[in-house]
Structure 1
């Protein structure tokens, strides 16, 4: 049996005991207010039974309801909110407007109410703690409802005590308490209705999901992101563009993103990510350059410059050349990895180098971003491109970059 179900059964048993105790005390003392409070507890008994039914049904999945019946919890929360509001109305009618009666055995009434206040206060705290732990709206709603019982018990207790000393202070207290009851009920009603109407997930959760997706190097674009609650669970749907047209690799990337989201965010039932390959209208080649900005360097992370040569996807003649300064050439550690990430941010598709990478870091970064690495024995970018059947116009004006901190073109 799940923790939520055990808590709901405990609530049912406690309400049954408290109802019996209050009704017995009301019969012995003759208190109309205590009798009304007993029937108020009977309403709690019905609510607790509704909670158990909701928890039992909510987790089921059928052909007609493939996403589960999680919203039963939210529907039950709405019902409980209406019970809370009705309880406030009940208190107004049966406590504030009741005429004081001569009580018999008032000690029995006081003891039963004190017992009810202590038990309901403890159980309200306990149920709220469990509800927050498992993110169950139905337990949180019931805990809030039970907190109103603490208040209503206190109102009735005040009525009994004030009757003994000749003062009627319960009316003022009851009006204040009814205001709190109404506020609690309306808040639960609002939260439950939002989920039933498929309102969006909160901004903080969606923003966290967005960051996880965009921090994945293979993702080129986030097209759409939506999310909704259903009971205690969250459903997330996204549409992304990946830097690969390989189906098996795309499937692996999407699985990795989905697992990352489920690991970082609690109570995720389903993450559905639609993906499509990146349709590029240009292909960008990158070369690590020596200090003369004309020849290909034998180094990578420590070079001062990178040349980017841009081809339109249907052309074999370069349309643009950029020479960028390497912002990580002087760092002490991880310069190769940082340089690789720098080229990926500049949307490089193919990196042409003279030597294999001595460390696996840059190679892993490129492979993870679906960026191809090619080896060449040629001395210049022009010759290396000609080796691939591509043309870099000799007349193309390549403005050499003066050594400075910022990038230049």
Structure 2
């Protein structure tokens, strides 16, 4: 994780408030996505993975709210420079000032400002900036391909409309570009398929068309929300190979969301394990699979058929993910954890280092501290926050 991040998320909190309760769907999530690498976000349904992705693009529907103390920072220097020139009064140099555009390395001012290193905070930025990011800089591939495509318009019409809005293309130029996009995602006879409707595409071809739509504006970051869940294993493998090729050819950074640890092993460079709105473990994919630390991560890995050798009965995690409708003053995994002890019900675990570029939020760590030392460390961090 030593690469300079292209996208960074810090203390992301997204809640849904009704008359009855407030659901903390994403509760203090932090991670980085380095340039040209893949971050896998894995966890059971209800862990907050999809809400995290939607929060990055500002696509949280009412009554959802992204808390203002959250930070979602996009670090592409060319984009930061453009926004800094458009919003000169919102530029802050390093830690000085309150603007949503941060310049860490650059010079000049106004229309002549240059940015070598900096970021734009998408939570604090106006909607006009967020809209320019959405699709153009950061795009999303949704789980259900068919619902992502309008059934009453041809696939070609949907792609050319997007090209017209974001890139100003029209007529034969837009049609040619749309055909190139379909060809790039492996759809045969692309010019003919432009005139077909979504229902005329197979499930795998629908997902390829959705990926083509996501790539239409040449984004730098691709958010993939369970893009292979509804596909059979053969088509799933083809889509994963396609994404790997596109990443290599286009230099994409990818956030890949899934509940399948087997898919994570195939696609990810780094992994964030989510549970009940929180990240409970972060590591490189090799380190996570070789030496998982959090009991939840171990449970997910043990439930993969064939990974732990021959067994009479496949291990499962008892219970289900709770609805995080109260502040985390304890370990949310404790009611399901086979290694839980009394203090897990009273102290909220904070992330501690358990190896090189490897952290876990669990009272079992750091192992060398002894129980009293571990509890004191987690309790102190909890009070600091």
- Indicate the TM-score class for this superposition, using the shorter chain for normalisation: under 0.3
Quick check: which one's strand share is greater? Answer: 2
TM-score (norm 1): 0.20
TM-score (norm 2): 0.21
Quick check: which one's helix share is greater? Answer: 1
